[in-house]
Amino acid sequence: MTTTTQSRADAKAAAAHAAYQPVDGRLLDVENLHVHFHTSDGVAKAINGVSFHLDQGESLAILGESGSGKSVTAQAIMGILDVPPAKIPEGHIRYCGQDLLAMPEEQRRKTRGPEISMIFQDALSSLNPVFPVGWQIAEMFREHRGLNKSDALAQAVRLMERVSIPGAKARVKAYPHQFSGGMRQRIMIAMAIALDPAILIADEPTTALDVTVQAQIMSLLQELQQERKMGLILITHDLGVVADVADRIAVMYAGRLIETADVYTGYANPAHPYTKGLLDSLPRLDQKGQTLAAIPGLPPNLLKMPPGCAFHPRCPLARERCREERPELVEVRPGRFAACHYTEEVLHA
């Protein structure tokens, strides 16, 4: 790349980022988010008043069983929900103080990639099968920064090298199916960090991978986050995967947050019976051979939400009050929030 195009691209990048400056380090504020799916069977209320925030350089893990609304939350932030059937009847998603939901679509589109970016569970199906991987990474520079073909491709090679793809230069023209699962996820990561976004959302980035590869991808994500001071939202149903990477955890159940805490206290001393159940079902090195205490029962049907606490049909502590009155997410300890009537019992257990 010539110096003039480099500096022009940098200037453009700087100008683009300048429009969004975090206020007091706050990148993202999700406030009372609701997402409904209008289906032929009725309205599925997938997200019911979720609020959380993310600061610069912070990593937040969103946990919960499959179907609890983690991906829908991420897609709402990203603005990639299918509308219809999805609808956001209420809520705000503020990025650097600006409400993404109130933005004109064209302005919002330009935040995808340079400001907020996302990687997905299945990198094979998430990459376009008919275009070379280098082309797909370079597309970010061509579409958002106006770089020409060869400059954009040079950037793609640089990124592929950064995410440790062996022989990046030689493989820039290869197609997604010619890579292993781990390498494909690295390519997705390269594409997502291409424009130096302030926020990276990773939706189950390692679920489809072997255990050894999982650890490599997680440490790559952690490394990149620290190097670029990104805010990282890590979505997973596997609590074991994120323990080393996350600063804070947010636990979802049936479209609501039921507990938020910093990772150490949350793991050591959960405040919600559901979080406790999830942690108890983790295989532990110090209790080898013991059978796992999985949470009995299934998450509720979104079309027929139980009254009161949505977790009560499965909760070992449930009693009359839980069936009638829905617990709000309240601060139970400084900086810790939980939505349970009997949180003190859980904390002291």
Ligand X SMILES: Nc1ncnc2c1ncn2[C@@H]1O[C@H](COP(=O)(O)OP(=O)(O)O)[C@@H](O)[C@H]1O
- List residues binding ligand SF4 (CB under 6 A): 273, 309, 311-312, 315, 317-318, 322, 327, 340-342
Contact 145, 15 (CB under 8 A): no
114 binds other proteins (CB under 8 A): yes
The per-type count for the chain, helices as H runs and strands as E runs, is 14, 12
Kindly write out the interface string for residues 80-119 of this chain, putting x where it contacts ligand X by CB under 6 A and - elsewhere: --x--x----------------------------------
CB neighbourhood size of 342 (10 A): 17
One-letter amino acid of 48:
N
Contact 111, 100 (CB under 8 A): yes
Preceding omega of 166 cis (within 30 degrees of 0)? no
Distance CA 6, CA 10 (A): 6
Looking at the Cβ atoms of 66 and 125, the one nearer to other proteins is 125
CB-nearest residue to ligand X: 71
- C-alpha distances in angstroms, 46 versus 41, 109, 296, 310? 14, 24, 22, 13
Please state the closest distance from residue 260 (CB atom) to ligand SF4, in A: 15
Identify residues 41-70 at the interface with ligand X (CB under 6 A): 44, 46, 64, 66-70
DSSP 46-70: EEEEEEEEEETT-EEEEE--TTSSH
Looking at the Cβ atoms of 59 and 117, the one nearer to other proteins is 117
- For strand 116-119 and strand 199-203, is the pairing parallel, antiparallel, or unpaired? parallel
# chain residues binding ligand X, by CB under 6 A = 15
- C-alpha distances in angstroms, 134 versus 117, 154, 348? 18, 9, 54
Please state the closest distance from residue 62 (CB atom) to Mg ion, in A: 10
Considering only the stretches 68-76, 79-87, 158-166, 293-301, report the one whose residues sit in contact with Mg ion under the rule CB under 5 A.
68-76
Distance CA 14, CA 138 (A): 19
117 binds, among ligand X, other proteins, Mg ion, none (CB under 5 to 8 A by kind): other proteins
Contact 133, 172 (CB under 8 A): yes
# chain residues binding Mg ion, by CB under 5 A = 1
Choice from 59, 71, 185, 236 touching Mg ion (CB under 5 A): 71
Identify residues 142-201 at the interface with other proteins (CB under 8 A): 143-144, 175, 177, 188, 191
β-sheet with 86-95: strand ranges across: 42-55, 26-39, 86-95, 98-99
236 binds Mg ion (CB under 5 A): no
Choice from 48, 59, 117, 185 touching other proteins (CB under 8 A): 117
267 binds, among ligand X, ligand SF4, other proteins, none (CB under 5 to 8 A by kind): none
Interface residues with ligand X (CB under 6 A)? 37, 39, 44, 46, 64, 66-72, 82, 85, 302
